[in-house]
A and B are shown apart, each in its own frame.
Chain A
Amino acid sequence: AQKITQTQPGMFVQEKEAVTLDCTYDTSDQSYGLFWYKQPSSGEMIFLIYQGSYDEQNATEGRYSLNFQKARKSANLVISASQLGDSAMYFCAMREGQTGGFKTIFGAGTRLFVKA
């Protein structure tokens, strides 16, 4: 069965430093997409970055990059030059293709605290 695991319930990082949030997944589908979302304390869900299972290059969006290691089934989010506004909950998610019925599953999340 498909599964997303985020092993870090909470993380601290110093402002201006880089931080890696871990995400591993399990699927038997060949076609799938991986996503990261940010949820600040205000509650809205903000899309950060996407990686397709057939994409050979790691996705990047500004200060966000996704370290995609397909053989290890990991999709870690790297935030460079952390800012105080990055303090939030971060969720990893996966959408499977036809084999998996196009379901979407989320990990339990990692709460990131950025220290000044």
Chain B
Amino acid sequence: EAQVTQNPRYLITVTGKKLTVTCSQNMNHEYMSWYRQDPGLGLRQIYYSMNVEVTDKGDVPEGYKVSRKEKRNFPLILESPSPNQTSLYFCASSLTSPSMNTEAFFGQGTRLTVV
């Protein structure tokens, strides 16, 4: 079954404690992406990757890091979380080219609370 798996689903942490949210896909997709969803703002792209070792900033990259050492995995790292990073996070994967039907498969979401 084609899927994107992100973990954990829920996380409460304290300010400044480093955390990693994992994301893995089994569809051999080149393009992977992280989004955060906040009320009234829709989804905003944090970082994306078009292939192994190729990552780029989205619209809201501050305070986040990513890596793409393997095609299937794209972890999101918060080195020093702050309360304004409390949000719902989604990982997604798809083909890269927008000239094809690049349906994005989304993970189930990670609800992060930073206190």
Residues of A with Cβ closer than 8 Å to B? Answer: 4, 6, 31-33, 35, 43-45, 47, 50, 52-54, 91, 93, 95-97, 101-109
Contact assessment for B98 and A31 in the assembled complex, using a CB-CB cutoff below 8 Å: yes
Contact assessment for B43 and A91 in the assembled complex, using a CB-CB cutoff below 8 Å: yes
Contact residue among B31, B43, B56, B98 (Cβ-Cβ distance under 8 Å from A97): B98
| Chain B residues, Cβ within 8 Å of A32 | 98
Chain B nearest CB, measured from A42 CB (Å): 9
B109 contacts A by Cβ under 8 Å: yes
From B42, B44, B96, B100, residue with most partner A Cβ within 10 Å: B42
Contact assessment for B101 and A53 in the assembled complex, using a CB-CB cutoff below 8 Å: no
Contact assessment for B99 and A97 in the assembled complex, using a CB-CB cutoff below 8 Å: yes
Offer 14 A-B interface pairs, CB within 8 angstroms, sorted by A: A4-B42, A31-B97, A33-B100, A33-B101, A33-B102, A43-B88, A44-B106, A45-B104, A50-B101, A52-B100, A54-B99, A95-B102, A102-B31, A105-B59
The bracket for how many chain B residues form the interface is 20 to 34
| Chain A residues, Cβ within 8 Å of B100 | 33, 52
Contact assessment for B99 and A52 in the assembled complex, using a CB-CB cutoff below 8 Å: yes
Contact residue among B88, B98, B105 (Cβ-Cβ distance under 8 Å from A96): B98
Contact assessment for A44 and B108 in the assembled complex, using a CB-CB cutoff below 8 Å: yes
Residues of B with Cβ closer than 8 Å to A? Answer: 31, 33, 35, 40-45, 48, 50, 56, 58-59, 88, 90, 92, 96-106, 108-109
Contact assessment for A35 and B104 in the assembled complex, using a CB-CB cutoff below 8 Å: yes
Given known A96-B98, A97-B98, A97-B99, contact A105–B109 (CB-CB < 8 A)? no
Given known A35-B104, A44-B106, A44-B108, contact A105–B45 (CB-CB < 8 A)? yes
A24 to B105, CA, bound (A): 23
Q: Nearest residue in B to A1 (C-beta to C-beta)?
A: B59
Given known A103-B45, A105-B45, A109-B42, contact A33–B109 (CB-CB < 8 A)? no
| Chain A residues, Cβ within 8 Å of B108 | 43-44
A97 to B104, CA, bound (A): 15
- Contacts A4-B42, A6-B42, A103-B56 known; list 11 others, CB within 8 Å: A31-B98, A35-B103, A43-B108, A44-B109, A45-B90, A45-B104, A53-B98, A97-B99, A102-B98, A103-B45, A103-B58
